[in-house]
Amino acid sequence: MKNFKVGVVVGSLRKESFNKKAAKALVENAPENLSFEFLEIGNLELYSEDLDLTPPQSWVDFRNKVSSMDAILFVTPEYNRSVPGVLKNALDVASRPWGQSVWNAKPAAVVSVTIGSTGAFGANHHLRQTLAFLNMPVLAQPEAYIGNAMSLFDENGKLTEDSTKDFFGKFMQAFAALIETNVAG
Protein backbone atom coordinates (compact mmCIF):
# COMPACT_ATOMS: atom_id res chain seq x y z
CA MET A 1 0.00 0.00 0.00
CA LYS A 2 1.39 3.37 -1.05
CA ASN A 3 1.86 6.11 1.56
CA PHE A 4 0.49 9.61 1.01
CA LYS A 5 1.19 13.00 2.63
CA VAL A 6 -1.94 14.93 3.52
CA GLY A 7 -1.95 18.59 4.45
CA VAL A 8 -4.56 19.59 7.02
CA VAL A 9 -5.98 23.10 6.70
CA VAL A 10 -8.15 24.24 9.60
CA GLY A 11 -10.28 27.31 8.98
CA SER A 12 -10.44 28.34 12.64
CA LEU A 13 -7.65 30.17 14.45
CA ARG A 14 -9.22 29.90 17.92
CA LYS A 15 -6.95 28.12 20.41
CA GLU A 16 -9.67 25.77 21.67
CA SER A 17 -11.33 25.43 18.28
CA PHE A 18 -13.73 22.53 17.83
CA ASN A 19 -12.50 22.38 14.24
CA LYS A 20 -8.92 21.76 15.42
CA LYS A 21 -10.17 19.08 17.79
CA ALA A 22 -12.15 17.45 14.99
CA ALA A 23 -9.15 17.62 12.64
CA LYS A 24 -6.99 15.85 15.22
CA ALA A 25 -9.70 13.20 15.70
CA LEU A 26 -9.93 12.67 11.94
CA VAL A 27 -6.15 12.17 11.78
CA GLU A 28 -6.32 9.69 14.68
CA ASN A 29 -8.98 7.68 12.83
CA ALA A 30 -7.22 7.65 9.45
CA PRO A 31 -5.67 4.66 7.68
CA GLU A 32 -1.99 4.09 8.44
CA ASN A 33 -0.87 4.86 4.88
CA LEU A 34 -1.80 8.52 5.34
CA SER A 35 0.62 10.85 7.12
CA PHE A 36 -0.50 14.33 8.10
CA GLU A 37 0.92 17.79 8.51
CA PHE A 38 -1.13 20.71 9.80
CA LEU A 39 -0.58 23.71 7.52
CA GLU A 40 -0.63 27.04 9.34
CA ILE A 41 -2.76 29.70 7.66
CA GLY A 42 -3.01 32.36 10.38
CA ASN A 43 0.34 33.94 9.51
CA LEU A 44 -0.36 34.55 5.81
CA GLU A 45 -0.41 38.19 4.71
CA LEU A 46 -3.63 39.14 2.95
CA TYR A 47 -3.51 38.32 -0.73
CA SER A 48 -2.85 41.21 -3.09
CA GLU A 49 -1.83 40.78 -6.70
CA ASP A 50 0.59 43.68 -6.17
CA LEU A 51 2.76 41.33 -4.08
CA ASP A 52 2.98 38.52 -6.65
CA LEU A 53 6.28 39.78 -8.12
CA THR A 54 7.98 39.70 -4.71
CA PRO A 55 5.76 37.50 -2.54
CA PRO A 56 6.07 37.56 1.26
CA GLN A 57 8.09 34.67 2.68
CA SER A 58 4.95 33.32 4.40
CA TRP A 59 3.34 32.90 0.95
CA VAL A 60 6.42 31.18 -0.48
CA ASP A 61 6.62 28.80 2.48
CA PHE A 62 2.90 28.02 2.37
CA ARG A 63 2.90 27.44 -1.39
CA ASN A 64 5.89 25.10 -1.02
CA LYS A 65 4.17 23.15 1.77
CA VAL A 66 0.95 22.76 -0.21
CA SER A 67 2.93 21.76 -3.28
CA SER A 68 4.69 18.98 -1.33
CA MET A 69 1.39 17.38 -0.25
CA ASP A 70 -0.43 14.61 -2.09
CA ALA A 71 -3.85 15.69 -0.82
CA ILE A 72 -5.56 18.24 1.43
CA LEU A 73 -8.07 17.80 4.27
CA PHE A 74 -10.06 20.97 4.97
CA VAL A 75 -11.83 21.35 8.32
CA THR A 76 -13.81 24.56 8.67
CA PRO A 77 -16.39 26.42 10.71
CA GLU A 78 -19.03 28.59 9.10
CA TYR A 79 -18.89 32.37 9.26
CA ASN A 80 -21.88 34.17 7.74
CA ARG A 81 -22.89 31.14 5.62
CA SER A 82 -19.38 30.87 4.15
CA VAL A 83 -15.82 30.00 5.06
CA PRO A 84 -13.76 32.18 7.39
CA GLY A 85 -11.75 34.91 5.69
CA VAL A 86 -8.47 33.35 6.82
CA LEU A 87 -9.30 30.17 4.90
CA LYS A 88 -10.35 32.06 1.77
CA ASN A 89 -7.09 34.02 1.97
CA ALA A 90 -5.09 30.77 2.12
CA LEU A 91 -6.94 29.46 -0.93
CA ASP A 92 -6.18 32.69 -2.80
CA VAL A 93 -2.50 32.83 -1.76
CA ALA A 94 -1.80 29.28 -2.98
CA SER A 95 -3.83 29.61 -6.19
CA ARG A 96 -1.92 32.63 -7.52
CA PRO A 97 -0.30 33.97 -9.60
CA TRP A 98 -2.83 33.01 -12.25
CA GLY A 99 -1.95 29.66 -13.82
CA GLN A 100 0.41 28.65 -11.00
CA SER A 101 -2.00 27.19 -8.46
CA VAL A 102 -0.38 24.64 -6.15
CA TRP A 103 -3.86 23.28 -5.31
CA ASN A 104 -4.33 22.00 -8.88
CA ALA A 105 -5.41 18.33 -9.09
CA LYS A 106 -4.81 17.60 -5.39
CA PRO A 107 -7.56 15.38 -3.95
CA ALA A 108 -9.44 17.09 -1.13
CA ALA A 109 -11.98 16.35 1.56
CA VAL A 110 -14.16 18.85 3.40
CA VAL A 111 -15.41 18.56 6.97
CA SER A 112 -17.44 21.39 8.48
CA VAL A 113 -17.83 21.67 12.25
CA THR A 114 -20.09 23.89 14.35
CA ILE A 115 -21.69 24.13 17.75
CA GLY A 116 -25.01 24.64 15.95
CA SER A 117 -27.23 21.90 14.59
CA THR A 118 -26.77 22.48 10.84
CA GLY A 119 -23.17 21.24 10.71
CA ALA A 120 -21.94 24.36 8.90
CA PHE A 121 -23.66 23.23 5.73
CA GLY A 122 -23.22 26.61 4.02
CA ALA A 123 -19.46 26.75 4.57
CA ASN A 124 -19.05 23.15 3.43
CA HIS A 125 -20.77 23.76 0.11
CA HIS A 126 -19.23 27.17 -0.46
CA LEU A 127 -15.78 25.63 0.02
CA ARG A 128 -16.64 22.76 -2.35
CA GLN A 129 -17.59 25.33 -5.01
CA THR A 130 -14.21 27.03 -4.67
CA LEU A 131 -12.34 23.71 -4.74
CA ALA A 132 -14.13 22.73 -7.95
CA PHE A 133 -12.84 25.92 -9.58
CA LEU A 134 -9.33 25.12 -8.28
CA ASN A 135 -9.55 21.73 -10.07
CA MET A 136 -9.36 19.68 -6.88
CA PRO A 137 -11.22 16.36 -6.94
CA VAL A 138 -13.32 16.51 -3.76
CA LEU A 139 -14.64 13.55 -1.79
CA ALA A 140 -18.35 13.44 -2.61
CA GLN A 141 -19.51 10.80 -0.14
CA PRO A 142 -19.74 10.60 2.73
CA GLU A 143 -20.44 14.25 3.36
CA ALA A 144 -19.31 15.52 6.75
CA TYR A 145 -21.40 18.12 8.56
CA ILE A 146 -20.54 17.93 12.25
CA GLY A 147 -23.03 19.75 14.46
CA ASN A 148 -23.30 20.17 18.24
CA ALA A 149 -19.50 19.95 18.48
CA MET A 150 -19.42 21.15 22.10
CA SER A 151 -20.85 17.76 23.18
CA LEU A 152 -18.35 15.61 21.25
CA PHE A 153 -15.08 16.28 23.08
CA ASP A 154 -13.83 15.88 26.63
CA GLU A 155 -11.92 18.53 28.62
CA ASN A 156 -8.66 17.36 26.96
CA GLY A 157 -10.03 17.80 23.45
CA LYS A 158 -10.45 14.07 22.80
CA LEU A 159 -13.40 12.83 20.78
CA THR A 160 -15.70 10.87 23.09
CA GLU A 161 -18.68 10.11 20.87
CA ASP A 162 -18.34 6.54 19.52
CA SER A 163 -20.68 7.03 16.58
CA THR A 164 -18.66 10.08 15.48
CA LYS A 165 -15.40 8.12 15.84
CA ASP A 166 -16.89 5.39 13.65
CA PHE A 167 -18.04 7.96 11.10
CA PHE A 168 -14.62 9.66 11.08
CA GLY A 169 -12.96 6.29 10.41
CA LYS A 170 -15.28 5.59 7.47
CA PHE A 171 -14.84 9.12 6.17
CA MET A 172 -11.05 8.84 6.25
CA GLN A 173 -11.15 5.42 4.57
CA ALA A 174 -13.18 6.96 1.73
CA PHE A 175 -10.73 9.88 1.53
CA ALA A 176 -7.80 7.45 1.34
CA ALA A 177 -9.52 5.67 -1.57
CA LEU A 178 -10.03 9.01 -3.36
CA ILE A 179 -6.36 9.85 -2.89
CA GLU A 180 -5.27 6.43 -4.15
CA THR A 181 -7.41 6.89 -7.25
CA ASN A 182 -6.27 10.43 -8.04
CA VAL A 183 -2.56 10.57 -7.16
CA ALA A 184 -0.22 9.33 -9.87
CA GLY A 185 2.17 6.73 -8.52
Q: What is the DSSP letter of 138?
A: B
Q: Does the pLDDT at position 43 exceed 70?
A: yes
| CA gap 41, 184 in Å, rounded | 27
Residue 68 has pLDDT above 90, yes or no: yes
Cα separation of 58 and 103, whole Å? 17
Domain of 151, in residue numbers: 4-182
Percent of the chain with pLDDT over 70: 98
| Section 11-23 average pLDDT | 95
- Whether the Cβ atoms of residue 20 and residue 26 lie closer than 8 Å to each other: no
Asked whether the beta carbons of 145 and 73 are under 8 A apart, the reply is no
pLDDT exceeds 80 at position 185: no
- Residue 5 CB contacts under 8 Å (≥ 6 apart), including other chains: 35, 36, 37, 68, 69, 70, 71
CB atoms within 10 A of CB 49: 10
Domain count, the chain: 1
Q: What is the CA angle 84-86-87, rounded to 5?
A: 70
Q: Where are the alpha helices (DSSP H) in the chain?
A: 18-28, 57-68, 85-95, 121-133, 162-182
pLDDT category, 116, cuts 50, 70, 90?
Answer: confident
What distance in Å separates the CA atoms of residue 6 and residue 38, rounded to the nearest whole number?
A: 9
Helix 85-95 and helix 121-133, axial crossing angle in degrees, nearest 10: 10
Q: What is the rounded CA–CA span in Å between residue 153 and residue 157?
A: 5
pLDDT at 97: 93
Residue 119 has pLDDT above 90, yes or no: no
Q: Residue 130: which CATH number?
A: 3.40.50.360
User: How many C-beta atoms surround the C-beta of residue 159 within 10 A?
Assistant: 19
123-168 tens-digit pLDDT: 999 999 999 999 999 999 999 999 899 899 999 999 999 999 999 9
The tens digit of pLDDT for each residue in 71-111 reads 999 999 988 888 999 999 999 999 999 999 999 999 999 99
For 7-60, the three-class secondary structure string (H helix, E strand, C coil) is: EEEECCCCCCCHHHHHHHHHHHCCCCCEEEEECCCCCCCCCCHHHCCCCCHHHH
Give the residue-averaged pLDDT of 61-72: 98
112 band by pLDDT with thresholds 50, 70 and 90: very high
By C-alpha distance, which of 175, 181, 179 is closest to 75? 175
Q: What is the mean pLDDT of the chain?
A: 95
